[in-house]
Amino acid sequence: MQRYQSYIQGQWVEGKGVETILYNAINGDVIGETSSDGFDYEAILEYGRKTGGPALRKMTFQERGRMLKALALHLLTKKDRYYEVSAWTGATRIDSWIDIEGGIGNLFANASLRRQFPDLPYYVDGTAAPLSREGTFIGHHIMVPKRGVAVHINAFNFPIWGMLEKIAVNLMAGVPAVVKPSEYTCYLTEVMVRDIIASNILPEGSLQLICGLGRGVIDHVISEDVVTFTGSAHTGKVLKGLPRILEESVPFNLEADSLNAMILGEYATPDTEEFGIFVKEVTKEITVKAGQKCTAVRRILVPDHLVGDVQDAISARLAKTTIGDPRQEGVRMGALATRTQVERVRENVELLAKNQEIIFGDPDNFEIVGGDKEKGAFFPPILFYNDDPHTKTDVHHVEAFGPVATILPYKSPNDAIELSRMGKGSLVSSIVTPSDEEARNYVVEAASMHGRILILNKDCAKESTGHGSTMPLLTHGGPGRAGGGEEMGGKRGVMHYLQRTAIQGHPTTISEITQQFQVGAAQPEANPHVFRKHFEELKVGETVFTHKHTVTDADIVNFANVSGDNFYAHMDATSLEGTIFEQRVAHGYFVLSKAAGLFVDPKKGPVLLNYGIDEARFTKPVYPGATIAVRFTVKEKIDQEKRSEDDIAKGIVKFLVDVYDETGETVALATILTMVKKIDQSA
């Protein structure tokens, strides 16, 4: 029999005995077995801290991002095998696509975040805080990788996505991971992890896998570790309350299943496109992954006078849903992950049926195509109707984690908001309406109880990713019942694994630490000119002090002629009464343009191009007769990878343009972005 192994401490190993027998959800055949009994979890966690951690922390954000991109590209070449194994979990091709390519998409998305981080192993957060009158003492914040491990305890429903969406973030932050997937579907996770380890793309120790029950993995966490849990709210709360978590103050991110609601707006009547969009989206949420999504719709809120129309439309679509072996032609909904899950869903359906009516579906009578109805893990779509959701409240507390949802009538927009909030916190809520005003009212009043809100109408439905799809650049999590946690969210997710530390000192010292020029820091004069230096030769802080230029009326007139900007403050001295200007003022963009003329060294050299200006500010009027000059300072350097063998090796250099007048006061500030050659590409 196939023994599914764990990858710990640099090797593939098996636990003692058999903890879990693994079954094919389609036909009940035994796939294999697994165990984690006997594992030394203290040693496993320490291996990640001592082996994976240092290797990842040596890498910059740019290098980690490129690592994730390489891993994503590699896994795409292996995806056919993942689809084959994913079918054993009962997943259709579409279900598997969400899990497999959605998970790999998380790697790509997090890899792209490298452009938002410095070319350092740590992150510089925000801007400097002035702490003294003369500017010799300032404060700042940096965020460094935690020197622990990320322990991820994942649910059974997304064996690949659940792992990749989490490790993409901690690896980008420079923190290693120990992944404990659900023992019931760990066989799919194990297949992918074998490919990851064999690729040698990740440093050794950055990823360890525990297949089995994993009992004891949390018992040895320390304060610099991070624990994440995805699954039931009950289990999550038990783990979050463990003495070790409390004693060590270990960050614990809980993402729990919730009673998500979708609302049909009052203006989405049956004659609108939005009505059809609503029906299609609800049906999809009931049947995709056989309803086994933490984001699936459980409560369908409908204006009371439209209940009949909605009931008929959803029932008609559900009736066309073919259930069975996902590998069979025409099958639209597969099985639940295990027979255990079937029994849990059945129990909760029976609880819900005590005070609300089943209006579509029968747990005991349904047809399947292919598979084994008795040994497989099939369960049909069930649609309830609750005629009094304010009194019959089980629907707001009991979740059947399968293809089960309930229609709830509401009397007014405020009633819909109140009903949505009665779930006591959800991962996601949606409203389908053609009215932007109705959407705004719902979002503003309901948002405090929902981690994400989707607004659907005919203008965005075609490209919408849907109610149940979480996106890597948006946060995933929710308040209350949903666990109070937060995952993904682009940079926000990465920062969960970084320690923010305030730093204080002289601007020159802070510049050295942050590798970003801070106002008030030393500005050694560049020799030769910075435009004569390659990327590697430039040092943060070195400065070109330019020649000076006295602004004239002719400058203002000529710039107006060239630019077409004849704004009165520049061209009509008789119109200045009641303004802040004392006389005709030079165009701000003239000041910047002239600054470029002063700081540019025109001969061909390592600078390839200037491709943008950030943070441009005009801080003081420049009148004819003023004399301006520029302090042109290397502000920050960011390495850039070559896109191909023929590409030029280069990096991004940000220069601070500080334009000042004869009094020494700054009149304009800007940051220009340039591409600069590296030495190995010089002529």
Which amino acids are annotated catalytic?
255, 294
Task: Provide φ and ψ at 640, rounded to 5°.
Answer: -135, 135
The CA distances from residue 54 to 46, 50, 176, 196, 621, in Å, are 12, 7, 9, 19, 52
DSSP E strand boundaries for 183-317: 207-209, 226-231, 252-256, 260-264, 297-303
In contact, 376 and 340? CB cutoff 8 Å: no
Is-cis flag, bond preceding 528, omega within 30?
Answer: yes
Tokens 């059945």 belong to 346
Q: Are 298 and 261 in contact (CB under 8 A)?
A: yes
Cα–Cα–Cα angle for 374, 378, 380, rounded to 5 degrees:
120
Give the separation between CA 460 and CA 438, rounded to whole angstroms.
16
Q: List the structure tokens of 420.
A: 């949505």
Apex 661 CA angle, 656 and 666, nearest 5: 40
* Listed residue (21, 88, 30) closest to 371, CA to CA: 88
CB of 201 closer than 8 Å to CB of 74: yes
Q: What b/e string do you get for 648-676 counting C-beta neighbours within 10 Å, with b at 16 or more?
A: ebbbbbbbbbbbbbeeeebbbbbbbbbbb
Contact between residue 47 and residue 11 where contact means Cβ atoms under 8 Å apart: no
